[in-house]
Amino acid sequence: MMARGGPCALSVMSFVLMLWQEASSIEVPLDPKIQQDLKQPPTIVKQSLKDYIVDPRDNIIIECEAKGNPVPMFSWRRNGKFFNVGKDPRVTMRKRSGTLEISFRSGGRPEDYEGEYQCFASNDFGTALTNKILLRVSKSPLWPKEVLEPVVVTEGSPLVLSCNPPPGLPPPLTFWMNSNMMSIAQDRRVSMGLNGDLYFSNVLAKDSQTDYSCNARFLFTHTIQQKNPYTLKVQTKEPYNDTSSVNSTDLYSGRKVTETPPAFLSPTGTDSSMMVLRGEKLQLECIASGVPTPSIKWFKKGGDLNQKVKLENYNKTLQIDSVSEEDAGEYMCMANNQIGSIRHSIYVQVKAAPYWLDKPSNLVLAPNENGRLVCRTNGNPKPDIQWLVNGEPIGSDSSLPNPSREVVGDTIIFRSVQTGSSAVYQCNASNQHGYLLANAFVSILDMAPRMLGPKNQLIKVIENNRTFLDCPFFGSPLPELRWFKNGQGSGLDGGHYRVYINGTLEIKRALAEDQGTYTCVASNILGKEENQVRLEVKEPTRIVRAPEHQSAIRGTMARFDCRVKSDASLPITVTWLKDDKPLSLGWRLKKDEDSLSIPSVNEGDEGVYTCTVKTEIDQDTASARLTVLEDASLFPSQSSALPTDRPDPPTDLELSDPAASSIRLTWIPGDDHNSPVTRFVVQFEEDHWERGKWQNLSSYPGDLNSVVLQLSPFINYQFRVLAVNSVGQSRPSRPSQRYQTSPAPPDTIPSDLKGWGTNKNNMEISWEPLLDTERNGPNLKYLVWWRRKDTGEDWSNVTTEKTKHIVQDTETYVPYEIKLQAKNDIGPGPESNIITGYSGEDKPTAPPTDLRVFKPESTKVSIHWTPVDPSTVQGEFKEYRVYYWREASMVKGLHVNKEKKTKGFYSTVAQPTGILTDLHPYSHYRMFMVVANTRYEGPPSNHVEFYTKEGVPDVPTSLKIVQRSTDYIRLEWEKPVEPNGILIGYTLKYQTVNGSQVGRMVIESFLPNVTSYKLRLPDRALRYKFYLAARTQVGAGEVLAVESPHFTNEGNGSMSSVPVKQPPIKLAGLIEGAKYRLRVYSSEYHSISSKVVTFETSTAYIKDHVDIATQGWFIGLMCAIALIILILLIVCFIKRSRGGKYPVRDKKDLPLEGVDQKGEDGSFDYQNENENENSCSLQSSDEDNKPLQGSQNSLDGGVKESDDSLVDYGEGGDGQFNEDGSFIGQYTVKKDKDETEGNESSEATSPVNAIYSLA
């Protein structure tokens, strides 16, 4: 629930952030191929410290490293002005880097290069900046020359020896030593202050025995500077005896030193103040004088010193390593001795340089996407935020204008970004104590989809296992990914498939039918890319005959079975272990495919044998124990067979050592019948809750017969024991005597505590009751507490024996804190954790308003609405629920289903949006919206009508091969159930198929009123695959495919029936050369049937038989003979009429008509051959008056159809020729047309009418 109040501020904030539900930065994968092609602005990866102190003896190196694509170029500014690196011979810049190196080998002073430096890294997409690096050279000055007079002080007086070290960079560390280079011993009386001075709370005569010298250590130069020593002279009232106080605990005993009350040496006065920055070290100091030496104590006003506080230097220094705001306040130090006490207050104020709350991060967006950069900081005082782009302040004359960018305080909002607007943005947060600078680039990336995983991956899984098929991908805009199986059907999602956002397809339970090739297709506006994963589902590997526990006499053979059933395509490996260690298979132990044999067993062979069967994707194991028995010949009294059996039950159960929650149970094991007992099972029965029901309590190894049982309170126990060996389980022992445990408070917290309203003004608190064995005592009850959350009111409570309690008269849907405790007559149990429950919900009182649609498409539409006030939901907000239905289709005459559908949208932004998907194209829709909590819906919003655009049509309803003969195929189809627009026609594609080989694709287009097509067949042996799709103005829809069956299998197993009355009958309309199955059965009693008879129709000509009458050479020969006879007859007629002999030269002029003609290249002259054949062939035409494929044109340009065409022979019209041009193609007989005969019938003589069925 949102907090009430501040509606104006909430509205402004909601307006600023209204788009961020949809805006998210693209995560670019680390794939090398993607990174190589990815164009990105510069990013600073390494830079020197802001406060950079260097050693003057070394070269100066100022670091600046950046990455980007293209590789960035570097430039520098010094003290705010361009720094020309090339003009200074001492300065060089490293290759492919911006790091500066300043060398002083040829002279020069490092101090000349002190200043403020800033590095700029630029490429085509923007400029990134480093921090401003303040370069300073380390300094270690000498102590000034000075002559120190001896310090004279009266014994018991305080003393401060000043240090005042020379100012160095960085400041030196100070310490005190004497002339002999020995450290000055420090204690409660003598110590060094934070400023380096040496403080004496009181001076003793012995302090004059040494001198005192302050030393300063400079870290960078590793040098120590020593100040001239102090000489201390102590004036005493009596001579100092060094041995007088060696064993004395009182430093002042017998010295007649005047006792003085405490007084502060540092700090002075009654109060002081200090300012420290957040995160820095806080050190407060109180050093006091006095005799005796005062002790120091610290306090903080308003509270105790927290755990961060450390007291050092004999409690004189209070230190906090990392200060935070809560450490501010008034600290008091108190110095006291036996004379008096004194206090000093130090007021600590904590300020803060800027620090990050939300550092801006790089943003990669696709064109037209939205995004934002956020730069949230805090500090004391509040930092000022300044935004820069490519190093220039936004809004300045040198910065590029960008209409899609808006700066709102610490946020930059980007809307509908465009290619070319990539840049690097800098956020500079500063106050008087420091600054922060962060670079964050905005890169506009457009990239076609790419697959990141291996190509054509093979995945093997075990049947019934959960399976994941990975398909990592990337693109910008983010591609839409869909999965397909075997390249067919719609996308896989739903059912036992689930597609994750990263592209992974989950198959919840892989079955044999899930095996196949899965294709993942990623697509965006720039293209699409696909990858395939081949899934093989294997049978699980199982041990179907597992080894069994057995006993073997020493010297005999033992055998363990291990028969395996696995997938035939997976190689298996069988290994044996003994006592969980690999078994060495030597000359004695033998392993075959299904078993392990151990000949001549001995005591060393005893143990647990494990058979492990592994494949590359799964495994199975089974174990059994081998027990070695003594040879029966050594014990004649025993049977040589030594049969095994289940053990006898244990006897003589005895209870001892009773305690509050335990007791010892002892028994005597029964006979194991030659099979050792592997474990004992202890059971119990109690006579209060479930009298007579025995339950397992625990089990123990077979070598134990005395155990301590852990028991529950307030149970009247009775025990029994069962023994287990390799044969089985014994009968139960006789029960033990009863043992009553003492009651105790409950030690279990009731589970599943929850609170939820059953109506608008109550809250039902419920929980799971304790088990009977968890009651621990009589009169179990539950103590329930509840109170309104965040109101500070007192707890209400009730005690009940039930498992729920209803709190009445609550407000609607308000949170409550709830806790629960079980108790009995002995006492209460532990309290549960506090949970939050809610009172009941009521119906929402306000509807969403201003429901409207935006950018309707063919199958989806964007919707916008104004949300309700959260207080009107009156419950836990669940979703905005849209009710929508299809009012009508804009296709005339198409009836639609007006069933209402719903879709929920969870959104809490100020201007929510959603997308309705899976709509029907070219349709009229209506919708309204309600807000819903988990129980009720609110009133409806305004009703909205909208119209979807035209889309591609659905798949045609059917595509059938309704008729086939030797010459043609007839196709018929039905229009789609959902045209999704105005149909403009159909596209039919077809091609020949022969196994994996396919022919050229032929495309036909038809008007929308055409629903059939007739295709002439050049060869009845050809098979075709047809692809049909309907078309609208938008494009072609889903394709429906069908393949023609082989001619000899025409009908594809279809069944026809013919009613008859009396045999015999004649079946007509059969296909030549086809196989049929025939049976006769009763039309009234289908169970009365004849046997099935199989027959095959004959062909007009047998394909392998060569008919001489149809051979080309025979026809040519007959034509030549006929022509010669005709010429001879003509010549004879002329000669007879002329009465003389004909000259020889007339004979030479006669043409040789039967000779084959060849071209110059040896190829056959089809034209001449055709003329010769046409002169002797009979002409015919078919019913369509259309030329067959391969028919030849006549001399007058018309088309002649010849029954003797070469196309009618063999597999087409393509002939083969020898090197000399002779024709070697094989002719085959021309296929005859179908025969048609009428059906004949007569009266049946049988009392049962018969039906001939064809299959």
pLDDT for 1148 equals: 40
Least confident span in 175-179, 872-876, 886-890, 1070-1074: 1070-1074
Angle at the Cα of 365 (from 363 to 367), degrees rounded to 5?
A: 150
Q: Smallest Cα–Cα separation from 184: which of 147, 144, 230, 253?
A: 230
pLDDT band at residue 400 under the 50/70/90 scheme: low
566's tokens? 């696995």
Least confident span in 281-285, 303-307, 318-322, 683-687: 303-307
Angle at the Cα of 1202 (from 1196 to 1208), degrees rounded to 5?
A: 135
pLDDT for 1107 equals: 58
Element (H, E) at 946: strand 944-947
> How far is CA 532 from each of CA 484, 487, 511, 522, rounded to the nearest angstrom?
9, 10, 19, 12
HSE, side-chain direction, 13 A CA sphere, residue 974? 6
How far is 1017 from 970, CA to CA, in rounded Å? Answer: 10
CA 136 to chain centre: 51
45's tokens? 């990866």
Q: Smallest Cα–Cα separation from 1030: which of 969, 971, 1002, 988?
A: 988
Between 976 and 1064, name the one with better pLDDT. Answer: 976
pLDDT, tens only, 519-531 = 999 998 889 899 9
pLDDT, tens only, 507-518 = 988 888 889 999
How would you classify the pairing of strands 230-235 and 151-154? Answer: parallel
How far is 712 from 150, CA to CA, in rounded Å? Answer: 85
Query: Residues 6 or more apart from 1077 whose CB is under 8 A from it?
Result: 1092, 1093, 1094, 1254, 1255
pTM as predicted:
0.48
1202, 1191 in Cβ contact below 8 A?
yes
How far is 1090 from 1079, CA to CA, in rounded Å? Answer: 6
Angle at the Cα of 231 (from 230 to 232), degrees rounded to 5?
A: 110
pLDDT, tens only, 59-97 = 899 999 999 989 999 999 999 999 998 888 889 999 889
pLDDT, tens only, 600-614 = 888 888 999 999 999
pLDDT band at residue 398 under the 50/70/90 scheme: low
pLDDT band at residue 649 under the 50/70/90 scheme: very high
pLDDT for 1072 equals: 62
pLDDT for 1163 equals: 38
pLDDT for 634 equals: 47
How far is 15 from 410, CA to CA, in rounded Å? Answer: 15
> How far is CA 336 from each of CA 103, 286, 955, rounded to the nearest angstrom?
60, 12, 99
Least confident span in 35-44, 383-392, 398-407: 398-407
Average pLDDT across the chain, whole number:
81
Element (H, E) at 35: helix 32-37
Between 1161 and 422, name the one with better pLDDT. Answer: 422
Identify the top-confidence range among 42-51, 218-227, 626-635: 42-51
376, 410 in Cβ contact below 8 A?
yes
pLDDT for 72 equals: 93
How far is 629 from 639, CA to CA, in rounded Å? Answer: 12
pLDDT for 494 equals: 77
How far is 1151 from 1157, CA to CA, in rounded Å? Answer: 13
Query: Residues 6 or more apart from 420 whose CB is under 8 A from it?
Result: 444
What is the 8-class DSSP label of residue 201?
S
pLDDT for 1021 equals: 72
Q: At what angle do helices 1166-1176 and 1112-1138 cross, to 10 degrees?
A: 70
How far is 247 from 1152, CA to CA, in rounded Å? Answer: 155
Give backbone dihedrals phi and psi of 1013, rounded to 5 degrees, phi first: -155, 140
pLDDT for 261 equals: 93
Query: Is the predicted pLDDT of residue 16 greater than 90, yes or no?
Result: no
| pLDDT-above-70 percentage for the chain | 82
Residue with tokens 């050479």: 1113
Mean pLDDT to the nearest integer, 932-954: 93
Whether residue 676 is preceded by a cis peptide bond, meaning omega within 30 degrees of 0, is: no
403's tokens? 């209409």
How far is 749 from 924, CA to CA, in rounded Å? Answer: 59
Mean pLDDT to the nearest integer, 1080-1105: 62
pLDDT for 1218 equals: 40
pLDDT for 1071 equals: 65
How would you classify the pairing of strands 51-54 and 133-137? Answer: parallel
Query: Is the predicted pLDDT of residue 7 greater than 60, yes or no?
Result: no
Tell the burial category of 338 from Cβ atoms under 10 Å away from its Cβ (0-12, 13-18, 19+): exposed
Is the torsion defined by CA of 8, 11, 13, 15 positive or negative?
Answer: negative
Q: Smallest Cα–Cα separation from 736: which of 649, 647, 671, 648?
A: 649
How far is 539 from 533, CA to CA, in rounded Å? Answer: 19
Sheet hosting strand 706-710, strand order edge to edge:
651-656, 662-668, 706-710
Which parts of 108-221 fold into alpha helices (H)? none
811's tokens? 């407000």
Between 469 and 11, name the one with better pLDDT. Answer: 469
907, 880 in Cβ contact below 8 A?
yes
How would you classify the pairing of strands 595-598 and 1023-1031? Answer: unpaired
Q: Which contacts qualify for 833-836: CB closer than 8 Å, 24 or more apart?
A: 835/753, 835/754, 835/755, 836/755, 836/789
pLDDT band at residue 33 under the 50/70/90 scheme: confident
How far is 522 from 501, CA to CA, in rounded Å? Answer: 12
Mean pLDDT to the nearest integer, 1072-1099: 69
Identify the top-confidence range among 488-502, 643-657, 955-969: 643-657
How far is 76 from 119, CA to CA, in rounded Å? Answer: 5
Q: Is 1138 helix (H, G, I), strand (E, B) or coil?
A: helix
pLDDT for 773 equals: 81
Residue with tokens 């204008």: 401
Least confident span in 144-153, 437-446, 657-666, 1194-1203: 1194-1203
Angle at the Cα of 1136 (from 1130 to 1139), degrees rounded to 5?
A: 135
pLDDT, tens only, 296-329 = 999 998 888 888 899 999 999 999 999 999 999 9
Q: Smallest Cα–Cα separation from 730: which of 795, 776, 683, 780?
A: 683
Whether residue 171 is preceded by a cis peptide bond, meaning omega within 30 degrees of 0, is: no
Query: Is the predicted pLDDT of residue 1253 greater than 70, yes or no?
Result: no
pLDDT, tens only, 1189-1207 = 333 333 333 433 334 443 3
DSSP one-letter string for 415-436: -S--TT--EEEEEEEEETTEEE
How far is 353 from 376, CA to CA, in rounded Å? Answer: 14
Residues forming beta bridges with residue 756, ordered by sequence position: 764, 838
| pLDDT-above-90 percentage for the chain | 42
pLDDT for 930 equals: 95
> How far is CA 91 from each of CA 56, 64, 107, 132, 1161, rounded to the nearest angstrom?
15, 14, 12, 19, 83
Query: Residues 6 or more apart from 818 whose CB is under 8 A from it?
Result: 753, 755, 765, 784, 785, 786, 834, 835, 836, 837
pLDDT, tens only, 107-146 = 888 888 999 999 999 999 999 999 999 999 988 888 887 7
743, 713 in Cβ contact below 8 A?
yes
Q: Smallest Cα–Cα separation from 873: which of 904, 841, 902?
A: 841
Structural Rg of the chain based on CA atoms: 52
How far is 667 from 650, CA to CA, in rounded Å? Answer: 6
pLDDT band at residue 969 under the 50/70/90 scheme: confident
Between 817 and 239, name the one with better pLDDT. Answer: 817
pLDDT for 964 equals: 66
576's tokens? 């044996």
Amino acid at 1062: Q
How far is 126 from 389, CA to CA, in rounded Å? Answer: 8
How far is 426 from 118, CA to CA, in rounded Å? Answer: 14
How would you classify the pairing of strands 211-218 and 230-235? Answer: antiparallel
Cα distance between the two ends of the chain: 72
Amino acid at 628: V
Between 525 and 593, name the one with better pLDDT. Answer: 525
Query: Is the predicted pLDDT of residue 1239 greater than 80, yes or no?
Result: no
Residues forming beta bridges with residue 260, ordered by sequence position: 291
1084, 1249 in Cβ contact below 8 A?
yes
